Amino acid sequence: MRFVDRYPIIVTPRLGECRDFWLGLKFEVVFEASWFVLLQAEGESATLAFMHPDHPSAPPGPETFSGKGMCLELQVEDAAAACDEALAAGLPVTYPLTREPFGQLRFGFHDPSGLWVDVVEQVEPAEGFWDPYMAA
């Protein structure tokens, strides 16, 4: 199987709000209809879609997203700069920029669908943090 793309589809009635929110994060609309929005980040580095629960050809199974049980990880080169940009753009950053002992500098927020977005930069972990977790 050769993939052309891979992306989650978030089922939500808030298509317009989600589209506008992600446009503010430098995503672009690839396809849009009254029941579906496909967005792609600059450089085609990430793709994300939103589908209305009343989509006429929805596959069986995807219920409306409740905002629980899923996290979208956005890895960036400079989390501090990304956080400054997010705050300047008025994004609802609820997890402030934090250096985690396990080796990430990150911050986070929810999009209008309730999706948790975790923006991370990989950094050196605290000395010895992973030692207890390594196989003997």
Dump pLDDT digits (tens) for 29-88: 999 999 999 999 988 889 999 999 887 776 676 788 888 888 999 999 999 999 999 999
| Strand 71-75 versus strand 47-51 pairing type | unpaired
Residue with tokens 């609802």: 92
Does the 1-54 domain belong in CATH 3.90.180.10? no
Asked whether the beta carbons of 109 and 67 are under 8 A apart, the reply is no
For the domain made up of 69-126, the CATH class stated in words is alpha beta
Q: Domain spans of the chain?
A: 1-54, 69-126
Which pTM value belongs to this model? 0.83
